[in-house]
Structure 1
């Protein structure tokens, strides 16, 4: 699949996810809602418009935020490899920006660091 085809396919999946989540397909709405959930550099309305028009694909950390917000897998949103309705263990509808920030930070850790965090969470969840 060409780069242009990948961008168009991504935009179709993004629009599908927005529609399924009962959100409008609007670059202004998308950028505003995304930026409420993202702790990095805010995305512009133009960037969100480029995602919707199939001119650009966001990087991995932005894909993660979109997938959490829209309750789809990151893999499906980026590549279309999974069913968009596959069940996930994380209830994204109740996630706030701090939850998402924590997930992004954990995903950026090395394998060993992630294992320590996972073991610690397991230990605390036994209480």
Structure 2
């Protein structure tokens, strides 16, 4: 074999040796960048911090294992396209941005929405009340009918939160989805429940009956589904 052929063969072998390493480095970089975008979204939606329940909440929301959700949060894996699509629908972000970091998913502007008491909510949703003393800032990916509820007033029972020192943001125009929390109106009583999609676009919630036992209540849409919770602010 000539020296030139020997040199070229050696160069090829060296390149072939490092190509998988380089590809792996690029893949790892993509996973890390994805986790940064995902954690930014979770911060914006006031998920608990890492090591304080963030991974458990995420795993529960997307019906995956704790290890799987931990891989997403810690930059070790990117979800399937199907899961990415569901994520984007739940968090109202651009799919290309979440997966690849394209500019189309850049943060939106800020809008002011009214802070309502429990007794004001239904009139506001029906656009029968237009004057409010207090407002709060939210991202403008919410609809114009979005409103906030002050949790410190203790008007709602919330057994899924450790503290009630904050506020919840609700959007009446946000499409319902499985495992989302929503404001529902059952027997003229407003409550915050987690949605269960038992059939395509058919939802139910677990409610207390007269014997204080849990039962599944099928929601009559849209009358009993008042608004979808989009964010918790602490």
Give the TM-score, by structure 2 length: 0.35
The residue aligned with 1:39 is: none
In the superposition, relative to structure 1, how do residues 16 and 93 fare at CA in structure 2: closer, same or farther (>3 Å)?
farther
Q: Deviations over 1:6-61 (max 9, x none)?
A: 000000000001111222241111001122xxxxxxx1010000001100000100
* Equivalence for 1:27: 55
Alpha-carbon distance, 1:93 to partner: 4.3
Q: Is the 8 A contact 1:63 1:78 kept in 2?
A: yes
Question: What displacement does 1:85 show?
Answer: 3.2
After the TM superposition, list the runs of 4 or more consecutive aligned residues in structure 1 that deviate by more than 6 angstroms: none
**Which structure carries more strand by proportion?**
2
Higher relative contact order (CA 8 A, sep 6+): 1
Structure 2 spans left out of the alignment, 5+ residues:
1-24, 109-139, 144-170, 179-196, 202-234
Matched with 1:7 is 31
Q: Would you say the 8 A contact 1:7–1:55 is kept in 2?
A: yes
1:4·1:54 contact (CA, 8 Å) conserved in 2?
yes
- Which residues of structure 1 form unaligned runs of 5+? 36-42, 103-127
Q: Is structure 2 residue 119 aligned with structure 1 residue 95?
A: no
**1-10 or 11-20: bigger deviation:** 1-10
* 2:60 counterpart of 1:60: no
Distance 1:60 1:53 in 2: 18
TM-score by length of 1: 0.62
Equivalent-residue separation in structure 1 for 2:82 and 2:55 (angstroms): 19
Q: Which has the higher helix share?
A: 1
1:56 counterpart SS class: coil
How many residues align? The count is 93
